[in-house]
Amino acid sequence: MENWRRQPWVFATFIGPGTLWLFLFFLLPLGWIWLFAVGEREGPVDIVVTWTLENYREALQPVYLQLFLKTFLIALVSTAICLVVAFPVALAICFAPDRYKNVLLLLVILPFWTNMLIRTYAMIAMLRQNGFVNDGIGLLWTALKYLLTPVGLDGLMGERFAPLPLLYNNTAVVLGIVYVYLPFMVLPLYANLEKLDRSLIEASLDLGASQVRTFFEIIVRLAKPGIVSGIILVFIPALGTFLISDLLGGPDSQLIGNVVERQFRAANNLPLGSALSFLLLYLTFIALALRAWFAARAEKADA
């Protein structure tokens, strides 16, 4: 490969537009938010940068720390569910006949063609008291009660079906996050599993390993890069989500993203909102650093 210093204008032509875009629409706004976090309000809209840490002290109060912990746990649970659901889906697409693979991948990508707000409202139609899920369970309950009536066991099921409280709680928030971000887990897993050497699976089975052991010792081990990529792509957006918890969650289901959104809009407290958002950003950087550290340790152990 020719050294880029011999023709720097070619290098600048390719990297210049992207660098300018990142600077103008990512780094520069991020820098303003960072300055707001060390500033104070002066009047209804003016903010003076005084290099104070009072906003961070307020952001570290117990009420906000509890929200950070709750957000972390909900994001962690949602990511784990996405991984458990996405792995067999990606594996099934990988081992599907070639004529079906493009159709199956299209079905995974299809939700991206619809706005996230509309998809979240669709979850409300699914989970509400008279929604599709409760109606479906109610039909199954009625059919089971009808089947048990001849043997006199219908009294065990009660007089009527009570709809499940699936909406406006933490469960609804987790289901919403899983529904929205599941494709971000399926796609990197599929991309990694598609490159899997299937002869290793056959060799493991031929040497006497069970299917379960082959799955964990061969498939899961070789799919680690896709697993890590999928976890990052789901966990980090789930940490900062606020639309899903705002629409699907109740008063006790608010996440730190909802607090940040309210500080910027309703309360007009940009310094506190900026401090909270940067604390969330720092946690994300710490998570990425830990991931890189564990990956480096794993590479040294394998070597």
List the structure tokens of 279: 């604390």
Are the C-beta atoms of 244 and 176 separated by less than 8 Å? Answer: yes
Position 10 scores a pLDDT of 74
Cα 246-169-279 angle, rounded to 5 deg: 55
C-alpha 225 chain-centroid distance? 17
Position 98 scores a pLDDT of 87
**pLDDT tens track for 139-190:** 888 888 777 777 666 666 667 778 888 899 999 999 999 999 999 999 999 9
Position 243 scores a pLDDT of 92
Are the C-beta atoms of 153 and 235 separated by less than 8 Å? Answer: no
What pTM was estimated for this model as a whole? 0.87
Residue 39 backbone zone (phi > 0: left; psi -120 to 50: alpha; other: beta): beta
Q: Strands (DSSP E) along 71-215, which ranges?
A: none
Mean pLDDT of the chain: 88
List the structure tokens of 100: 């079906």
Return the residue matching tokens 């394998």.
302
How many CB atoms are closer than 10 A to CB 171? Answer: 16
**Cross-strand partners of 49:** 39
Q: How far apart are CA 197 and CA 199, in angstroms?
A: 5
Q: How far apart are CA 109 and CA 93, in angstroms?
A: 13
**Where along the chain do its domains lie?**
60-128+166-302
**Cross-strand partners of 39:** 49
Return the CATH superfamily for domain 60-128+166-302. MetI-like (1.10.3720.10)
In which residue ranges of the chain is pLDDT below 70?
A: 1-5, 44, 151-158, 298, 301-303
Are the C-beta atoms of 170 and 74 separated by less than 8 Å? Answer: yes
Q: How far apart are CA 70 and CA 257, in angstroms?
A: 11
Strands 46-49 and 39-42: antiparallel
Position 290 scores a pLDDT of 80
Position 21 scores a pLDDT of 93
